[in-house]
Amino acid sequence: MLIQIKENCTAENLEQITNAIKNVGYKPNAVKTLNNHYLACVGTNKFDIRSIGNLPGIKDIHIVEDSNMLVSRQWRVKDTEIDLGDGVIISRNNFTIVAGPCSIENEEQVMKTVSFLKEQNVKIMRGGIFKPRSSPYSFRGLGIGGLKIFHKHCNANGIKIISEVMQVSQIEQMYPYVDIFQVGTRNSQNFNLLDELGKVDKPVLLKRGMSSTISEFLSSAEYIFSNGNEKIILCERGIRAFEKEYRNTLDLNAIPYLKEKSHLPVFCDPSHGIGIRDYVESMALASQMAGADGVLLEIHETPEKAASDGQQTLNFFEATNAFMKLRLMDQVKKKMLGNAC
Amino acid sequence: MLIQIKENCTAENLEQITNAIKNVGYKPNAVKTLNNHYLACVGTNKFDIRSIGNLPGIKDIHIVEDSNMLVSRQWRVKDTEIDLGDGVIISRNNFTIVAGPCSIENEEQVMKTVSFLKEQNVKIMRGGIFKPRSSPYSFRGLGIGGLKIFHKHCNANGIKIISEVMQVSQIEQMYPYVDIFQVGTRNSQNFNLLDELGKVDKPVLLKRGMSSTISEFLSSAEYIFSNGNEKIILCERGIRAFEKEYRNTLDLNAIPYLKEKSHLPVFCDPSHGIGIRDYVESMALASQMAGADGVLLEIHETPEKAASDGQQTLNFFEATNAFMKLRLMDQVKKKMLGNAC
Amino acid sequence: MLIQIKENCTAENLEQITNAIKNVGYKPNAVKTLNNHYLACVGTNKFDIRSIGNLPGIKDIHIVEDSNMLVSRQWRVKDTEIDLGDGVIISRNNFTIVAGPCSIENEEQVMKTVSFLKEQNVKIMRGGIFKPRSSPYSFRGLGIGGLKIFHKHCNANGIKIISEVMQVSQIEQMYPYVDIFQVGTRNSQNFNLLDELGKVDKPVLLKRGMSSTISEFLSSAEYIFSNGNEKIILCERGIRAFEKEYRNTLDLNAIPYLKEKSHLPVFCDPSHGIGIRDYVESMALASQMAGADGVLLEIHETPEKAASDGQQTLNFFEATNAFMKLRLMDQVKKKMLGNAC
Amino acid sequence: MLIQIKENCTAENLEQITNAIKNVGYKPNAVKTLNNHYLACVGTNKFDIRSIGNLPGIKDIHIVEDSNMLVSRQWRVKDTEIDLGDGVIISRNNFTIVAGPCSIENEEQVMKTVSFLKEQNVKIMRGGIFKPRSSPYSFRGLGIGGLKIFHKHCNANGIKIISEVMQVSQIEQMYPYVDIFQVGTRNSQNFNLLDELGKVDKPVLLKRGMSSTISEFLSSAEYIFSNGNEKIILCERGIRAFEKEYRNTLDLNAIPYLKEKSHLPVFCDPSHGIGIRDYVESMALASQMAGADGVLLEIHETPEKAASDGQQTLNFFEATNAFMKLRLMDQVKKKMLGNAC
């Protein structure tokens, strides 16, 4: 059961509501976000919801069967939109392209990429400065210094920044320089990190764990929301299955499924999802047709020299093509196919 | 190494070629198909291929590194086209829609479906008469009697038939009544069945085993080809992974990958691939965008009454929409996107 | 619901029973095995089973919730024992060792192996004469000729034979020469083959499909039983998972689980289960401790020269050690641990 | 290449060594542990190792092909032993039993468990005070307060403590009260946490990620070692596969494989590995026979009332049996089977 509390609800009324919830055998979890106040109530008893719904201070009350209730579409039918400012809005009405290198490498690389993205009218740039690497001996990113360079050039050109955060202590460090915090697949169940990201007022792009079920994925999003942050983007990036010809197995089934289960925007990362440059464009277009609201594309001026993930990175020529086709198909979908996908 | 033999190659020349192959340490496997004669030569030694290539009787000689050499694009760059007669051609140039019920149930059902497909200009109908069922107590299909009814109505209306064959003895029984033999996921490594299907002159649609790697999938196709049948359609239908919210995990990565590795047409079965009616259309469109040459769709006038798989079956209204969109997007892809996907 | 019919049940009584079953909304499936007569009744209605159980001709009646009811322990608490004759009995009371080469290669190999097994007092020899191979160009076995040689030497030395059958037509060919038919992992859902093996009076060792769930595995066994053959051995042989360091991922969880769910004996094939010679003995001992009633071990006088699977095959020295330890631990288990595992 | 540096190596000599390494195209990573000083050198060039090996200050030099070189057995053939003090030593020579509740719940529970373990002569107790839970609404542990209670009673009774650490900031908090830090499956690639655990002087039990390959698992251990902590225990706890009848799929193949690849001790957690109380003992015994050096068992006086994981938790009676059998089989293994497993 999810209860939306009125803005002007008094402490007295709130206490009355809380008691009423406990009386019917539910445990209320208070959730305060930037603009809203909820009580996420966990329990299984049956009772007449009007007995609670009519109490003063309640804006709305919903029976939500999904255990991940805050992120469920059962109470919020409208898609969540995320406004990054300066007219950059993530929503199902305009397909979002995020592009950039796997790792931020140096200022020249940032400048070239920013310039290319500006020319291409791409409004959000990705780039890692803290890199989760399987081996401790691999390149682990430039750190905050790299992020400052990244930010300087993006900021000067009206481009928003998304970058991966790996641990709680980095949130504060990164905060001034990013527009979206990214949680990587290996941290998708790093619950302390999710808790803390729930307390910031910037959006979080949450990648699906490589072996997370849909339910676990939504639970991770619920962690963020229940700590107070409603601005969450889900991102399918491939699961671990038996096939080894490609890096991961992109699970596009997840896209229409998540779109129906949750009100949150759903992105796709085809670069990691297949891990082979030649097929990234096809999989980006496929994910769009499956219903994705946006894609993350790894691009680099010279992928063969990239510090990481070069084999799955598009060069600028390939990226130009991919952007053009994705935008074209977005138009076609809207004009010709209607709401069906 | 793959050698194409001239039509008029004499027995003497052939012996000379065979000996030359053995002399360089390769084992030749003679493959005679309807129109072609190959020697699929297995070995790893290095040698000057001109020493063999110049022998009389040889049309062409190719170094093919793929162990599944006959189905590889390394020697046949051009896509395989399959002509079913009456203008029904499977090729990358015209997206193929195959539709029909999971199981053939009775004459009325066949008539209604045929009539609907004719109206929709769908040229190939699917329908199972031998059903592989996990439980021995489930409905196992109408058998050959059902196929005859199926054939009577399709034949009268210019509609081609695809139906699953489960064992060798059924090939001869089914032969007069089907246009394409389907091999189901559970039989994808039923090698005796593949051997025998290699000896017929009708096309075979081979579904990927639910845990087959790409390499095993192509090996199964190689079985059919190496027994003499070049008319093979590969079909991705979902793999078995950890997610249980959907019936299978549709592996669309396989589509661009198979299209590049092999010259064979690649289809997709989104009905089994996700197993939930509401998302079948999205996944069909996604598979098309990933590069599929065709889709198999389960349809039924009243899915809720279907003898099997109703939960993933489109009704005629939903099917009409899906057909329309798939055709529209096929046009868009060809006109606007070029060869990229 | 499972009904055991008395041997002397009259046709009239049987009809009465059948009608009573239908009247409560169940579908009876008549199952006649060598010694027993069952009605496997499929349905979900609730009713007083005494209303049927008291009818003349009924030996016993059981509520069985498992859909694979014949193989379920819910009605048959006692473990199934399988008597191969000459004192060779498969049962939980004496751990069974089956050993032999992956493929029968020639008479000398058979003679050496038989002689070794006789010396070691191993009573059942494995050996493939029809080999399922991923590639059509690999060695596919000696066929029936090889089986006759295999049989000649085993028969002369009191050793029983298990060998894989790949298709229906081979059952009759192989019948005179084998004591146990083996169904391989790729045929675990070859339902026509299972049907026909249900009609023979020799035992069947059924390997788990490499991506079969426990439930599907038991359904495959139910196919055999429901066609009339009660002599079934289940065999865990590794599943397909993401790890590629070993050939398969041996799922030993399956062993205690299957032992409790079903009354059938459960074997393990550690040779395929890990696929690396050095670890086969450890995994054999582990499977025994998990509760396996027997193991299949691949052995060869000179594994490095074996026609197939040499990398996972024990030589005679290693096999001697493994046999000794397995027998020792079997004694220890029985004497010291009691029934717990 | 792994270089062991002498204790008394001068700064000058070290510089000379470092330069020599760079000169042959390798990147040296300095690793200082409690008692040792290594240079883990990453590179692929071929050169005469004597040219470096003879430099003053070098204790030993090893060619190690494994990319996870510090944890590899290629240079350290002897098993790593971990001494917890007071005679509690983790080594292959004495099978280690760790037992305790999933979650620390209250002082009474701790006291009862400690008393039971003391009586049973179990020297290490497990118990979670920070609990990673899929849902944010589940019980998340008592926190440091719980750990203090846990510590008070264990300390008074000579029992060592293992407890899960979920984030960097908890290391310092927990340090005074634990003997072994546990890293859970969801944090197995939380690289920042691994880095920091590499800097403490207490052992770390590292659970395998539920979808980690063996190679990734060893890389995670390499993170800890390369930061300076040699005291690492690897723990197999089940992977995520397709089967849903059990909570996880225990991958016992990993045990002999890890034992050969690495010198680190390898434990098994059968409680999570199968997740069903009735089969935990069997799987514990199986893991022991596969070569595990120890097991983690979830126990509780009244599992049906446990705050978490009750379904996989043994009661004291069941635990008593399991301990007895594991110890008995450990004796049998040592006396009768020799080194083979």
Portion of chain A with pLDDT greater than 90, in percent: 93
pLDDT tens string D125-182: 999 999 999 999 999 999 999 999 999 999 999 999 999 999 999 999 999 999 999 9
**Other beta carbons within 10 Å of A120:** 17
Average pLDDT of D62-75?
A: 96
The neighbouring-strand residues paired with A185 are none
The pLDDT, as a whole number, for residue C340 is 45
Which residues on C lie below 8 Å from D276 (Cβ)?
Answer: 257
Q: Does the pLDDT at position B341 exceed 70?
A: no
Average pLDDT of D328-333?
A: 93
Q: Give one DSSP letter per residue of A227-284, joined into a string.
A: TT---EEEEE--B--S--SSSSB-BTTHHHHHHHHBSS-EEE-HHHHH--HHHHHHHH
- Chain A nearest-CA distance from B257, in A, is 7
In this structure, what DSSP letter does residue B314 have? B
Q: Is the Cβ of A80 closer than 8 Å to some Cβ of chain B?
A: no
pLDDT tens string B282-303: 999 999 999 999 999 999 999 9
* Dihedral pair phi/psi, residue B129, rounded to 5°: -120, -20
Which residues on A lie below 8 Å from B249 (Cβ)?
Answer: 239, 241, 249, 251, 253
The pLDDT, as a whole number, for residue B235 is 98
Q: According to CATH, where is 3.30.70 located in chain B?
A: 2-62
Please tell me whether residue B93 adopts helix, strand or coil conformation: coil
**Other beta carbons within 10 Å of B108:** 10
Q: For strands C2-5 and C37-42, give the pairing.
A: antiparallel
Residue B288: alpha-carbon gap to chain centroid: 16
Q: Is the Cβ of C253 closer than 8 Å to some Cβ of chain B?
A: no
pLDDT tens string C90-132: 998 889 999 999 999 999 999 999 999 999 999 999 999 999 9
Contact assessment for residue B308 and residue B164, using Cβ atoms and an 8 Å cutoff: no
Burial level of B278, CB count in 10 A (0-12/13-18/19+)?
Answer: middle
Q: A254-261 and B277-290 are packed helices; what angle lies between their axes, rounded to 10 degrees? A: 140
Identify the helix (H) or strand (E) that includes residue B279. helix B277-290
Hey, what are A33's tokens? 């976000």
Identify the helix (H) or strand (E) that includes residue B50. helix B50-53
Closest partner residue to C253 (CB to CB) among D250, D257, D321 is D250
Q: Of the ranges B19-28, B47-56, B323-332, which one carries the lowest mean pLDDT score?
A: B47-56
Question: What is the residue-averaged pLDDT of chain C?
Answer: 96
The pLDDT, as a whole number, for residue A340 is 45
Confidence band (pLDDT; 50, 70, 90) for D340? very low
Contact assessment for residue D292 and residue D91, using Cβ atoms and an 8 Å cutoff: no
B168–C167 C-beta distance less than 8 A:
yes
Which residues on A lie below 8 Å from B278 (Cβ)?
Answer: 256, 260
Residue A215's closest chain B neighbor by CA? B245
CA D139, D144, D149, D154 torsion: positive or negative?
positive
* Cβ pairs bridging B and C (under 8 Å): 83
Contact assessment for residue A231 and residue A193, using Cβ atoms and an 8 Å cutoff: no
Instruction: Please give the model's pTM, rounded to 2 decimal places.
Output: 0.96
Average pLDDT of B307-328?
A: 95
Which residues, at least 6 apart from A301, have a Cβ–Cβ distance to it below 8 Å? A109, A112, A113, A116, A315, A316
Could you give the C-alpha distances from A197 to A79, A206, A266, B11, D81, in angstroms and in order?
21, 10, 18, 76, 40
Q: Does the pLDDT at position B191 exceed 70?
A: yes
Closest partner residue to D192 (CB to CB) among A167, A189, A216 is A167
Q: Does the pLDDT at position A338 exceed 90?
A: no
Please tell me whether residue B268 adopts helix, strand or coil conformation: strand
Q: Is the Cβ of B245 closer than 8 Å to some Cβ of chain D?
A: no
Contact assessment for residue A269 and residue A314, using Cβ atoms and an 8 Å cutoff: no
Q: Does the pLDDT at position D338 exceed 70?
A: no
Which residues, at least 6 apart from A283, have a Cβ–Cβ distance to it below 8 Å? A250, A268, A270, A273, A274, B252, B253, B256, B290
Could you give the C-alpha distances from C159 to A138, C163, C233, in angstroms and in order?
57, 13, 18
Question: What is the residue-averaged pLDDT of chain B?
Answer: 96
Q: Is the Cβ of D258 closer than 8 Å to some Cβ of chain C?
A: no
pLDDT tens string A78-115: 999 999 999 999 998 889 999 999 999 999 999 999 99
Burial level of C98, CB count in 10 A (0-12/13-18/19+)?
Answer: buried
pLDDT tens string C129-168: 999 999 999 999 999 999 999 999 999 999 999 999 999 9
Q: For strands D160-164 and C124-126, give the pairing.
A: unpaired
The pLDDT, as a whole number, for residue D49 is 87
C291–D289 C-beta distance less than 8 A:
no
The letter for the amino acid at A155 is N
Q: Is the Cβ of C336 closer than 8 Å to some Cβ of chain D?
A: yes
Portion of chain C with pLDDT greater than 70, in percent: 99
Hey, what are D38's tokens? 């290594």
Q: Name the CA radius of gyration of chain D, rounded.
A: 21
Residue B167's closest chain C neighbor by CA? C192
Q: Give one DSSP letter per residue of A117-131, joined into a string.
A: HHHTT--EEE-BSS-
Q: Is the Cβ of A317 closer than 8 Å to some Cβ of chain C?
A: no
Residue D247's closest chain B neighbor by CA? B242
Which residues on D lie below 8 Å from A165 (Cβ)?
Answer: none
In angstroms, the first-to-last Cα distance of chain C is 30
Closest CA to C191 of B186, B103, B220, B196: B186
Closest partner residue to D190 (CB to CB) among A29, A187, A227 is A187
Q: Does the pLDDT at position A341 exceed 70?
A: no
In this structure, what DSSP letter does residue C310 have? G
The letter for the amino acid at D341 is C
pLDDT tens string C269-323: 999 999 999 999 999 999 999 999 999 999 999 999 998 889 999 999 999 999 9
Hey, what are D226's tokens? 């390369």
Portion of chain C with pLDDT greater than 90, in percent: 93
The neighbouring-strand residues paired with A180 are A162
Q: Does the pLDDT at position B9 exceed 70?
A: yes
Q: What is the CATH number of domain C2-62?
A: 3.30.70
Contact assessment for residue B209 and residue C187, using Cβ atoms and an 8 Å cutoff: no
D242–B241 C-beta distance less than 8 A:
yes
Which residues on A lie below 8 Å from C240 (Cβ)?
Answer: 242
Residue located via tokens 């803005």 = A7
Which residues, at least 6 apart from D18, have a Cβ–Cβ distance to it below 8 Å? D28, D39
Closest CA to D182 of D98, D94, D91: D98
Q: Is the Cβ of B244 closer than 8 Å to some Cβ of chain D?
A: yes
Closest CA to A132 of D195, D185, D26, D71: D195
Identify the helix (H) or strand (E) that includes residue D257. helix D254-261
Q: CA–CA separation, B48 vs B41, rounded Å?
A: 15
Q: CA–CA separation, C278 vs C314, rounded Å?
A: 8
The pLDDT, as a whole number, for residue B118 is 98
Q: According to CATH, where is 3.20.20.70 located in chain A?
A: 82-340
Q: Is the Cβ of D260 closer than 8 Å to some Cβ of chain C?
A: yes
Residue located via tokens 């026979």 = D289
- Chain D nearest-CA distance from B60, in A, is 41
The pLDDT, as a whole number, for residue C341 is 42
Which residues on D lie below 8 Å from B242 (Cβ)?
Answer: 240-242
Q: A254-261 and A277-290 are packed helices; what angle lies between their axes, rounded to 10 degrees? A: 40
Question: What is the residue-averaged pLDDT of chain D?
Answer: 96
In this structure, what DSSP letter does residue D299 have? B
- Chain B: list its partners (3+ Cβ pairs within 8 Å): A, C, D
Q: D316-332 and C316-332 are packed helices; what angle lies between their axes, rounded to 10 degrees? A: 140
Confidence band (pLDDT; 50, 70, 90) for D341? very low
Q: Is the Cβ of D218 closer than 8 Å to some Cβ of chain C?
A: no
Q: CA–CA separation, C41 vs C24, rounded Å?
A: 11
Closest CA to A270 of A293, A238, A240, A241: A238
Q: Does the pLDDT at position D336 exceed 90?
A: no
Q: CA–CA separation, B35 vs B170, rounded Å?
A: 26
The neighbouring-strand residues paired with C126 are C162
pLDDT tens string A215-229: 999 999 999 999 999
Alpha-helix residue ranges (DSSP H) falling in chain A: 11-23, 50-53, 107-119, 144-156, 168-174, 191-197, 214-226, 254-261, 270-274, 277-290, 316-332
The pLDDT, as a whole number, for residue B340 is 45
The sheet with strand D2-5 has its strands ordered as D27-32, D37-42, D2-5, D58-62
Confidence band (pLDDT; 50, 70, 90) for B338? low
Q: Which CATH class is domain C82-340?
A: alpha beta
Hey, what are D180's tokens? 């072994």
